[in-house]
Amino acid sequence: MDNKDFRSGFVTLLGRPNAGKSTLLNAIMDQKYAIASPTAQTTRHRFRAIKTTDDYQLIIVDTPGVHKPHDALGEELNTTALKSLEGIDVIAFLLDAHEPLGRGDEWVITQLKAVKNTPKILVISKSDLATEDQIEAQIAKANELMEWDDTIVLSAVTGYHVDEFIDTVVSYLPEGPLWFPADMQTDQPQEVIIAEFIREKILFTVHDEVPHAIGVVVDEMSYDRKKDLYRIFATIYVERDSQKGILVGKGGRTIKHIGIEARKDLESLLGTKVFLDLQVKVKKNWRRDLNLIRRFGYGEGA
Ligand SMILES: Nc1nc2c(ncn2[C@@H]2O[C@H](COP(=O)(O)OP(=O)(O)OP(=O)(O)O)[C@@H](O)[C@H]2O)c(=O)[nH]1
Ligand SMILES: [Mg+2]
C-alpha cells in the first residue's frame, strides 16, 4: 500500500435482535458470510468481516442482538456484543425503520451513552419496509434519547444507501495500517462459517422453541482434489428427544431438506461440490452450561 492517506479501523454493528445487522454486513461485503433470519438471536458469535480497498481497510464487527437475557446463552451473547465496543473506532446503532422503538432499543442506547469519545452513527435499517413518515418519526425518537454524530437511512436488502454508509464510516476512521492481510475477508475459521450456514437453514425450516435449542458443530471436513469436492460431517445438537424428532422429521424428510438447502449455500461459499452428512444428537440443557456454550463456539469463545 503506497497510499499515504490510507485509513483503517473497526466499526461495530449494534442493535436489538432482528435489526438487520448481519444482513448489512453481507451487503457491505457483497458476499454472504454472516447468517441472517427472522428468528431473534440468529447471530451467536462476534463475527468480523474485513473489507479492503486501495483507500481503506474496514473491519466490520457483527454482534449478537442485545436484549434482556433469559438464560446463560442470552447473557453470554450480551457480554459478547457489549465487549465489542471496546477499542473500536465507530459504533453503528441499527434501528429497524418499521418496528416501534421499544424498551430493548432504549436499553441498548443507555449502554451506548456510557461509551465516550467514539463516533456513533444512527442507522435506520430496512427503509424499504417503512414510509417516509415512519422514518422521520423514528429518527426524531432516537434523537430524543441521544445525540448522534451522523444518521443514515438504508436498506441492506435493496442496497439503498449502503455505499453512503460505508463512506460515512470510513470518514471517521483514523489513518492507519492494514490490520489484516488484504485478501482476508473474515476472521472466522471456515468450520465455524459452515456450521453457521447449516444453522441458518434450520432456523428457516423449524420453528417455535427448536431454533434456540440447536447448536451445530462441524466434526470433520476433507477436500477430495480429484472430484473437486468437500466432504463435510456435522452434528446438530438439540436439548430434547422431542426436538430431535422435529428436526429429523417423518422418514428423515426435514433433515434431508435442511441438508439440501445448506449444501447449496456451502457450494457457493466454497466454490466446489459438497457432500454433507448431518447427524442429530441430544445434549440435555446445553444452553444453561457455559462450558458447553463455549465449546460450541458461541459467545466470546470462537
Ligand atoms: N425488507 C428488508 N428486510 C431486511 C433488511 N435487513 C434485514 N432484513 C431482514 O430482517 C431479518 C433479520 O435480519 P438479520 O440481519 O438476521 O438481523 P440481526 O440484527 O443480525 O439479528 P440477530 O442476529 O438476531 O441479532 C431477516 O429476515 C432479514 O432478511 C432490509 O433492509 N430490508
Ligand atoms: Mg445477526
Distance 4 CA to ligand 2 centre (A): 35
More confident residue, 85 or 302: 85
Q: What is the mean pLDDT of residues 121-145?
A: 97
pLDDT of residue 301: 39
Considering the chain, what percentage of its residues have pLDDT values greater than 90? 68
Considering the chain, what percentage of its residues have pLDDT values greater than 70? 96
- Residue 98 pLDDT > 50: yes
Q: How confident is the model at residue 302 (pLDDT cuts 50, 70, 90)?
A: very low
- For residue 29 the three cell numbers come to 461485503
- For 227, other C-beta atoms within 10 Å of its C-beta total 11
- For 98, other C-beta atoms within 10 Å of its C-beta total 15
Catalogue the E-assigned strands of the chain: 7-15, 47-52, 56-62, 90-96, 120-125, 150-153, 215-224, 229-238, 273-282
Q: Are 156 and 128 in contact (CB under 8 A)?
A: no
- Residue 43 pLDDT > 70: yes
DSSP tag of 174:
P
CATH class in words for 190-295: alpha beta
* Ligand 1 pocket test target in 12, 18, 107, 212 with most atoms within 8 Å of CB: 18
Region of residue 297 (left: phi > 0; alpha: psi -120 to 50; beta: else): left
Q: How confident is the model at residue 258 (pLDDT cuts 50, 70, 90)?
A: very high
For residue 289, the SS3 value is coil
Distance 292 CA to ligand 2 centre (A): 21
Tens digits of residue pLDDT in 215-246: 999 999 999 999 999 999 999 999 999 999 99
Tens digits of residue pLDDT in 45-76: 778 999 999 999 999 999 887 766 667 777 77
Query: What CA–CA distance (Å, rounded) separates 218 from 234?
Result: 4
When the pLDDT of each residue in the chain is averaged and rounded to a whole number, the result is: 90
DSSP tag of 239:
S
Q: Are 199 and 296 in contact (CB under 8 A)?
A: no
- Residue 300 pLDDT > 60: no
Q: Are 24 and 61 in contact (CB under 8 A)?
A: no
In the chain, where are the structural domains located? 7-172, 190-295
Annotation: CATH topology of 7-172: Rossmann fold (3.40.50)
Q: What is the mean pLDDT of residues 283-291?
A: 81
- Residue 1 pLDDT > 70: no
Ligand 1 atom 24: residue of nearest CA: 41
Output the CA angle 284-290-296, nearest 5 degrees.
75
Burial track 49-62 (b if 16+ CB lie within 10 A, e otherwise): bbbbeeebbbbbbb
**Ligand 1: residues within 6 Å at CB?**
15, 17-23, 36-38, 40-43, 64-65, 125-126, 128-129, 155-157
Ligand 1 atom 8: residue of nearest CA: 20
CA 155 to chain centre: 16
Ligand 1 atom 6: residue of nearest CA: 20
Tens digits of residue pLDDT in 171-208: 999 999 999 999 999 998 899 999 999 999 999 999 87
